[in-house]
Amino acid sequence: MRFQVKVVMFDLDGTLLDTAPQIAEAANRMLVALGKPMLSQAQITTYIGEGVQNLTKRCLVGSMHDEPDAQEFARAQPLYHNFYEANATDSQAFAGVLPALQQLKKQGYRLACVTNKPEKFTLPLLQHAGLADFFEIVVSGDTLPKKKPDPLPLLHICQKLGTLPAEAVLVGDSETDIQAAHAAGCFVVTVPYGYNQGRAIDVATVDATVQQLTEVVNLLELPALFSGDNEKMIQIS
């Protein structure tokens, strides 16, 4: 059975916008306020992608999986939110994002944004970057009971737009995006310039990879790739 892609969903952090500098600045201001040593932007960038709570925990303990002191974590959360709210909209779009969205919209694709970032940060970021009007639906990390890598946000978007998961593709930068797309039954395309906790994407697990988002436009015109029976990852370089 063959399907035609109708919906293109985009991750936010590390895919549409380079948010790492502002996230790192807010996290370090939080750490200083708590009397803790600052971390490098490179280290903090590896903590991005699984929501603000996980980011905050990882910054407090300096690792991916350890748990911070409960009282310290309770103090840290509002500090991070306040500091990040002050600088979040300084983030810039990656090269190729705006022309890619313009062309996809012109060609009739329905666009959505799906992120684990809280809505109070997501919407101002998209608006300030001039991207908000491209998306028919935006699903943030606190929109639904579950977030990526759970498939619920992707399935919710498909249901709202009246499309099958097999008619949708998620463009992201991380294993979190890949897992969500696989679980939902959507196609998945990745970019190599994102965060992914500092690890390289396993290209064998995705349908395609592109160097920047303008390449997605031509990629969607390849009938063999998004046919429901492709078996090979395509790399556009």
Which domains are delineated in the chain?
A: 7-18+91-236 (3.40.50.1000), 20-90 (1.10.150.240)
Contacts of 78 (CB under 8 A, 6+ apart): none
Give residue 225's pLDDT. Answer: 64
The residue among 186, 179, 171, 175 whose CA lies nearest residue 111 is 171
Would residue 18 show up in a list of annotated catalytic residues for this protein?
no
Rounded distance between C-alpha atoms, residue 48 and residue 41, angstroms: 11
Q: Which of 11, 13, 18, 177 is catalytic?
A: 11
Give residue 143's pLDDT. Answer: 98
Contacts of 199 (CB under 8 A, 6+ apart): 175
User: Tell me: the pLDDT tens digits for 8-27?
Assistant: 999 999 999 999 999 999 99
User: Tell me: the pLDDT tens digits for 155-174?
Assistant: 999 999 999 999 999 999 99
Give residue 115's pLDDT. Answer: 98
User: Tell me: the pLDDT tens digits for 98-151?
Assistant: 999 999 999 999 999 999 999 999 999 999 999 999 999 999 999 999 999 999
Q: Which residues pair with 8 in a beta bridge?
A: 111, 169
User: Which ranges constitute the DSSP H helices of the chain?
Assistant: 20-33, 41-45, 52-61, 70-87, 97-106, 119-128, 152-161, 175-184, 214-219
